[in-house]
A and B are shown apart, each in its own frame.
Chain A
Amino acid sequence: MSPSPEKKPLQQMPDPQGHYGVYGGCFVAETLMGPLEELQAAYAHYRNDPDFMAEFEKDMAHYVGRPSPIYHAERWSRELGGAQIWLKREDLNHTGSHKINNAIGQALLAKRMGKTRIIAETGAGQHGVASATVAARLGLECVVYMGADDVERQKPNVYRMKLLGATVVPVTSGTRTLKDALNEAMRDWVTNIDNTFYIIGTVAGPHPYPAMVRDFQRIIGVEARRQMLEMTGRLPDALVACVGGGSNAIGLFHAFLDDEGVAMYGAEAGGDGVATGRHAAPLTAGRPGVLHGNRTYLMEDDNGQIIGTHSISAGLDYPGVGPEHAWLKDIGRVCYEGITDAEALRGFHDLIRYEGIIPALESSHALAKASQLARELAPDRNILVSLSGRGDKDINTVARIEGIEL
């Protein structure tokens, strides 16, 4: 996977072995090394194959509904009294989030590699739904691993996956959330390696996953950069996205990395507050380690055990983060901060009440960060926010927190 010549310096990561500075790499048991080499070779081939890319782009246009629009949240911006907030509407994609971009890319690759069965891990259920959707369309068997606690808090998405013909396996080991679903999916993959393709939903995991998922999500920023130039005549002053594993964030950021005037902010799940320890903000409060195939920032104890995380949002409730984000943090290109559950809920309600859009709780973290920034900046400044998913799946969670029985 040599970087294409037109790419600029910060867009050239990773190295051929999947390293982003000291992060990334390929830390897996020996059984997976051969299959990962096979995947690297297949991906290196097909990403330069015009037929493959044409099929991907056709699906993006006609099945997903791309390009997703940019929407100027004028009323909310006026209320905040500062900079203008613009939303990249990934929530309007088919299946309701950015996850479909990557699921289609990997499923098309799976099909070309002759795999008949796909597996996926999911937290909020958005990646599980996207994978189940693509599997239904391509006629592939689909098994989705989901933490038992997440199965409970994301019931509508669990039912959606079942309607689509997927088998949803609740994972009861460990902390019963996203990280444990990932462990279980890896165990399935190592056992069924001959016929199975593992569609990882975020920019983490062993090489080539972080680079491959980013490349399939990169379309978010490529479109947004062009759209902002068309609509405002210049690049935005700041980008904001939520970061769990970080796929929508890297998808938005990547095309702008070498635009020096564009500030970037990643909103991690601050849970009850980073100071309380009950959060899921490894970039803000963790330290480097190795988990799930890559070196990155992790939430861990002094013995190197991964610790339980907390977030109102199942999709951000993960103790690690994509290795490219770890690198972008260290070089100071992106600023990562924790946004608390309470702040995210305020962002959730604000967007609904001022703009008539129900955002996902994950995306609400980015909205909260954007509203803080907007207040600090002048009205002629533009902030572009990744509205990564819609929030219909979260209304039960929000109702329960607010003591409302549906």
Chain B
Amino acid sequence: MSRLAHRFTELKNANRRALIPYITAGDPNPEATLHLMHALVESGADVIELGVPFSDPMADGPVIQAACERALVHGIGLRDVLGLVRRFRETDGRTPVVLMGYLNPIEVMGADAFAEAAAQAGVDGVLTVDLPPEEGSALLTALRARGLDAIFLIAPTTTAARIARVAAVSGGFLYYVSLKGVTGSASLDVDAVAEKLALIRQQTTLPVGVGFGIRDARSAAAVARVADAVVIGSAVIRLIETHASDEAAMLAAVRGLMGEIRAALDSATV
């Protein structure tokens, strides 16, 4: 069983929801990313979504765009991100790590070389934002051959027929984009999310996570009532941005937010 499947089974047995924080690798610097990853686990993360910085993050809002720009100042590339995962794995063999990013850095490395290096480094899943299943056969084959999960997005605009197609090639979990918009957008309609999740669950037995637009304990708790996992990105990145020059304060702030959300998730599912 993959690390992701194992983690979701554990959570299901305990009737808990997964908390999945997102950070951009290299923001504000590569060393801080490693410290942040451990701090996230210590403060309640079940899975870490590690962003691979890209110069043109089309699906992201201004907060994650700025995080990419801060990371790219250090010249961090996909191989460096895999190096961070490898170092994380030296002391954490249990927490699944999902890479989230755009296709071009993988294209340059080559699907096979990337999948091989990612598996070696201890990556568990790969979410490539701008790679729909229709275009993804080469990468999908390469990931599957190494036991890595390909994670895909489902959006409010995804039709029932497409949900089935996407679910059929997905592994690990499905990531439902809770609104039409970019990451870090303002509002989220929990009723609409619940309705769509019911539709998704008709097509798959995979766990379903919800992201985009979850910013605090309250919105996280609301989503936890209907989803298996809650992804929180821009809210974490904002704290990293605010405390970019003071790592101790950054780690404390991130732990604080994570603690609140963890508590809210756990009380929502009691």
Interface residues of A (CB under 8 A from B): 17, 25-35, 173-174, 179-180, 183, 186-187, 190-194, 288-293, 295, 298, 300, 302-307
Given A191-B181, A289-B107, A290-B130, A34 and B72 touching (CB < 8 A)? Answer: no
Per-residue A-contact encoding for B96-112, CB less than 8 Å = 1, 0 else: 00000011111111000
Q: In the complex, which of the residues A17, A25, A35, A191 has the most CB atoms of chain B within 10 Å of its own CB atom?
A: A191
The reply to whether A304 and B157 contact each other, CB–CB distance below 8 Å, is no
* B223 on interface, CB distance cutoff 8 Å: no
Judging by beta carbons under 8 Å apart, are A33 and B132 in contact? yes
Q: Is the CB of A183 within 8 A of B58?
A: yes
A-B interface, 3 closest residue pairs, ranked by CB to CB distance from nearest: A303-B77, A304-B105, A304-B108
What is the distance, in angstroms, from B135's C-beta to the closest C-beta of chain A? 5
Q: State which residues 143-184 of B face A: CB under 8 Å.
A: 152-159, 162, 166, 177, 180-182
Question: What's the Cα separation between A159 and B162 when bound, in Å?
Answer: 44
* Contact of B56 with A289 in the complex, beta carbons under 8 Å: no
A26, A194, A292: the one within 8 Å of B58 (CB): A292
Chain B residues within 8 Å of A180, by CB: 56
**Residues of chain A with a CB closer than 8 A to B72's CB:** 305
Return 12 A-B CB contacts under 8 Å, by A number.
A26-B132, A26-B135, A27-B130, A28-B132, A187-B58, A289-B108, A290-B102, A300-B108, A303-B79, A303-B105, A304-B105, A304-B106
Bound CA span A337–B102, Å: 30
Q: CB of B24 within 8 A of chain A? A: no
Beyond the given A190-B181, A290-B103, A305-B104, please list 11 additional residue pairs across the A-B interface where CB-CB is below 8 A.
A27-B132, A30-B153, A30-B177, A31-B156, A187-B61, A187-B182, A190-B59, A191-B180, A302-B77, A303-B108, A304-B107
A303 to chain B: closest residue by CB: B77
Determine the distance from Cα of A140 to Cα of B154 in the docked complex, in whole angstroms: 31
Q: Is the CB of A34 within 8 A of B135?
A: no
CA distance A27 to B105 in the complex (A): 14
- Expressed in whole angstroms, the Cα–Cα distance for A34 and B75 within the complex equals 35
Residue numbers in A under 8 Å from B75 (CB-CB): 303
Docked complex Cα distance between A194 and B153 (Å): 19
- Report how far A290 CA is from B107 CA in the complex, Å: 7
Are A35 and B157 in contact, CB atoms less than 8 angstroms apart? yes
Contacts of A30 in B (CB 8 A): 132, 152-155, 157-158, 166, 177
When chains A and B are docked, how far (Å) is the Cα of A179 from the Cα of B54?
13
Q: State whether A31 touches B105 (Cβ < 8 A).
A: no
Q: List, in ascending order, chain A residues with CB within 8 A of B61's CB.
A: 187
- B129 in the interface (beta carbon within 8 A): yes
Q: How far is the CB of A164 from chain B (nearest CB, A)?
A: 27
- Bound together, the chains give a CA A303 to CA B177 distance in angstroms of 28
Decide if B157 touches A34 in the complex (CB within 8 Å): yes
Which of A30, A174, A307 lies at the interface centre, i.e. has the most chain B CB atoms within 10 A of its CB?
A30
Q: Once the chains bind, are B103 and A34 in contact (CB under 8 Å)?
A: no
Q: How far is the CA of A34 from the CA of B161 in the complex (A)?
A: 11
Query: Nearest residue in B to A19 (C-beta to C-beta)?
Result: B135
Which secondary structure dominates chain B's binding surface? loop
With A187-B58, A191-B180, A302-B108 as contacts: A27 and B166 at CB distance below 8 Å: no
Q: Is B131 an interface residue (CB 8 A)?
A: yes
CB distance from A19 to the nearest CB of B (A): 9
Does B65 reach chain A (CB closer than 8 Å)?
yes
A31 touches B78 (CB 8 A): no
Q: Which B residue's beta carbon lies closest to that of A27? A: B130
CA distance A17 to B76 in the complex (A): 34
Q: How far is the CA of A307 from the CA of B72 in the complex (A)?
A: 12
Q: Is the CB of B158 within 8 A of A291?
A: no
- The contact of A34 among B62, B102, B107, B162, by CB within 8 Å, is B162
Q: How far is the CA of A173 from the CA of B108 in the complex (A)?
A: 24
A30-B155, A33-B158 are contacts. A304–B180 as well, Cβ < 8 Å? no
Q: A191-B182, A304-B108, A305-B72 are in contact. Are A33 and B130 (CB under 8 A)?
A: no
Assess whether B185 is interfacial by the CB under 8 Å rule. yes
Cα of A180 to Cα of B56 in the assembled complex, Å: 7
B55 at the A/B interface (Cβ < 8 Å)? yes
Structural contact, A34 and B159, CB atoms closer than 8 A: yes
**With contacts A173-B62, A289-B104, A290-B130 known, is A303 near B78, CB below 8 A?**
yes
Least CB separation from B103: chain A residue:
A290
Cβ-based interface call for B134 (8 A): yes
Which listed residue (A174, A190, A303, A305) contacts B180, Cβ 8 A?
A190
Output the least CB separation between B225 and chain A (Å).
24
B155 neighbours in A (Cβ, 8 Å): 29-31, 33-34
> A179 contacts which chain B residues (CB < 8 A)?
56
Q: How far is the CB of A97 from the nearest CB of chain B, in Å?
A: 26
Q: Which of B163-216 contact A (CB under 8 A)?
A: 166, 177, 180-182, 185
Bound-state Cα–Cα, A186 to B56, Å: 11
Known interface pairs A179-B56, A191-B180; A26-B78 also in contact (CB < 8 Å): no
Task: Give Cα distance in the complex from A156 to B102, angstroms.
Answer: 36
B129 in contact with A29 (CB, 8 Å): yes
Which of B57, B78, B130, B156 has the most CB atoms of chain A within a 10 A radius of its CB? B130
Report B-chain residues with C-beta under 8 Å of the C-beta of A293: 130
CB contact under 8 A between A304 and B59, given known A27-B132, A191-B185:
no
User: Contact between B182 and A27 (Cβ–Cβ < 8 Å)?
Assistant: no
Residues of A within 8 A of B182 (CB): 187, 190-191
Query: B135 touches which one: A25, A29, A303 (CB < 8 A)?
Result: A25
Q: Which residues of A are found within 8 Å of B103, using beta-carbon distances? A: 27, 290
B104 / chain A contacts, CB cutoff of 8 Å:
289-291, 298, 300, 304-306
Chain B 40-65, CB-CB to A under 8 Å as 1, else 0, gives 00000000000000111111011001
**Cβ contacts under 8 Å, A192 to chain B:** 180
